[in-house]
Amino acid sequence: MRRGIFDNLGLKLFSILFAFVMWFFVSGERQSYTEISYTLPLEFKNIPSDLIITNDFQDKVEIRMNGPAALLNSVRSEKLKYTIDLNDISPGESSFLINTENIDILRGLRITKISPSKINLMLERIVKKTVPVALTLTGELPEGYKIVRHLVTPANVEIRGPQSEVKHIKSVPTGEIELTNVRATIQKNISLVFKDIFHSEIISDKNISATIEIAEEILDKEFKEIPLELRGLEGEEYSFEPKMLDLTLTGTYLNFKHFTKESIVAYINAKDVDDTPQTLKPVIELPLNLTIKSTVPAEFEVVRISKPNESE
């Protein structure tokens, strides 16, 4: 029995050693295999010039790649990408399966996982439209000033984008123009602002010139019961009715800001009045920059009551 164990001992030891060496190399080779994750940019080619993608979609593809570590380490991740060919696609929704055949990898490597498995795209026709430029003004002018008119050049711009979006665009706003503390006409170049517009663009001239003409506000203001004097008399007595008048004056807000009716001087010049009743217009003296719009009454009848040195 013991003798049978030691029969061909050298051959048996060689077999054991050979098996161990083979196990070592096979185990080492298996341990050299590994798996790495990569993120690939999603790209499109052959997009028809009259179509545009309008939906949100995942623009990256995640993969896991398995293979020998040395081979994986030679992969240049910046060269990896996933491309979808949109040649001959029609408007509407389309689905594209994400598969490994579209990814160019080295021989000896394999892709074990890919995500997402499908991409859904919505494509729409591209249309053009001409819309007005809308001036955006902020703040308030100082007290007593107003906008006389404003001018935008060009008045309209042409936009381009998906039909579902363009049909809702009624105008294109400008950047903000601040009016606080402005007391003179503004002329400036200003940019256009596309708010909440995701896929449309301006395809005409974007250089916008804006003019906002600003001036003092002109007001009409009424003053009632202004006392009326009779002047030009030398010892004579005259009668006139009524003894007061109402005035409507025109001027700027700032002209009227500290103006009161006590500043108005109104009188009738009776210097050349004779014995017969006469109809005379009142004389109104005003500060500068105010004009008379109306006088009520516009004329007064003056009657002489007595002559100088006339005895009772």
Closest to 63 (Cα-Cα) out of 96, 95, 103: 103
Other C-beta atoms closer than 10 Å to the C-beta of 82 total 19
Task: Tell me the CB-side half-sphere exposure of residue 171, using CA atoms within 13 A.
Answer: 10
List CB contacts of 20: < 8 A, sequence separation 6 or more: none
pLDDT higher than 90, residue 22: no
Q: Could you tell me the domains of the chain?
A: 34-116 (2.170.120.30), 128-216 (2.170.120.40), 219-306 (2.170.120.30)
Looking at residue 312, what is its pLDDT? 45
Name the residue type at position 116. P
Looking at residue 231, what is its pLDDT? 84
Average pLDDT over residues 242-251: 93
Looking at residue 1, what is its pLDDT? 46
CA 124/CA 138 separation, integer angstroms: 37
Overall pTM surpassing 0.75 (yes/no): no
Calculate the average pLDDT of the chain.
86
The CA–CA distances, whole Å, from 270 to 156, 234, 273, 279, 302 equal 65, 10, 5, 10, 8
Name the residue type at position 207. N
Other C-beta atoms closer than 10 Å to the C-beta of 192 total 17
Are 273 and 300 in contact by the 8 Å Cβ rule? The answer is no
Q: What are phi and psi of 240, to 5 degrees?
A: -150, 150
Which string of DSSP letters, residue by residue, matches 202-214? E-S---EEEEEEE
Other C-beta atoms closer than 10 Å to the C-beta of 240 total 19
Other C-beta atoms closer than 10 Å to the C-beta of 9 total 9
Looking at residue 237, what is its pLDDT? 74
Looking at residue 187, what is its pLDDT? 94
Are 124 and 163 in contact by the 8 Å Cβ rule? The answer is yes
Of the two residues 74 and 232, the one the predictor is more confident about is 74
User: Cis peptide before 154, with omega less than 30 degrees from 0?
Assistant: yes
Looking at residue 212, what is its pLDDT? 96
Q: Which bin fits 206, alpha (ψ -120 to 50), beta or left (φ > 0)?
A: alpha
3-state secondary structure of 291: strand
